Amino acid sequence: MPRSSQFLFALLLLSLAVGTHSQNSVPGSENAASVTFTLDFPNSQPEHYSIRIPSEGHGRYQSSGRLSSDSDTTDNFDFDFTISAETRRRIFALTEKAGHFQKDLDSHHKNLAFTGKKTLTYQGPGRSGESTYNFSSNAAAQELTALFQNLSATLEFGHRLDYDRRYQKLALDEELKRMQDMAQSNMLIEMGAIQPILERIIADQSVVNVARARAQRLLDPPGAR
């Protein structure tokens, strides 16, 4: 084989080796997928939020709105969190049942109250889908909507609790009481995502004891052990 041909052949082998290494450098990345839920609801709290759940790694939550009903200042919240494997599996299983959102999910029923513009998006290897709706009669989409709304409620509680602990500790007890009521009604999920702020409240000697006790009960509810 001529020297020039040998050189070209060596370059080809090297490029193939580099390509194979780059594909294998992030195990499973070629199979990565994500589900995102977005809600836009003017004059609510928050007015906008999005939750992105990847098949690998941490979830991402972003919201904007007023921190309290009597505030005119816009508050932006950007939070990375760990989601349990069980909830992650449930989200992707429901996404599959909903056809990866490749068809219109909106019921198009007339005279329904507006409860926010909701969008479910799937991005994955070989397929993608997105559908926007006010209300969906699709059972899997309904379950996903409730799940994401409950997750948003949990994360927003954590955001407000963090603010109250730093700036208005006397508001903590009422916020934690509301949180207990919603937890008992199964309207909150993934409490582990806000465990650090609850632990900071429990450890803060300047917080009233009743509020610290509520935070402890949220972390360790009856029957959890």
| pLDDT, tens only, 110-149 | 899 999 999 999 999 999 999 999 999 999 999 999 999 9
The confidence score (pLDDT) of residue 100 equals 98
Average confidence score pLDDT of the chain: 87
Residues of the chain with pLDDT > 90: what percent? 76
Domain ranges of the chain: 30-219
Stretch 203-215: mean pLDDT: 97
Residue 26 has pLDDT above 80, yes or no: no
Residue 12 has pLDDT above 70, yes or no: no
Stretch 179-192: mean pLDDT: 96
pLDDT category of residue 68 using cuts at 50, 70 and 90: low
Query: Comparing C-alpha atoms, which of 58, 19, 34, 4 is closest to residue 121?
Result: 34
pLDDT category of residue 67 using cuts at 50, 70 and 90: low
Per residue in 43-64, pLDDT (tens digit) is 899 999 999 999 998 999 999 9
Residue 103 has pLDDT above 60, yes or no: yes
Residue 72 has pLDDT above 90, yes or no: no
The confidence score (pLDDT) of residue 221 equals 72
- The crossing angle, in degrees rounded to 10, of helices 195-203 and 139-167 is 30
For the entire predicted model, the pTM comes to 0.84
Per residue in 74-94, pLDDT (tens digit) is 899 999 999 999 999 999 999
- Collect contacts of 194-200 with beta carbons under 8 A, ≥24 apart: 194/81, 194/154, 194/155, 194/157, 194/158, 194/161, 195/219, 197/158, 197/161, 197/162, 197/165, 198/158, 198/161, 200/162, 200/165
The confidence score (pLDDT) of residue 69 equals 66
Largest CA distance in the chain: 85
**What are the percentages of helix, strand and coil residues in the chain, rounded to 5?**
50, 20, 30
Using a 10 angstrom Cβ sphere, with 0-12 exposed, 13-18 middle and 19 or more buried, the burial of residue 14 is exposed
Residue 17 has pLDDT above 50, yes or no: no
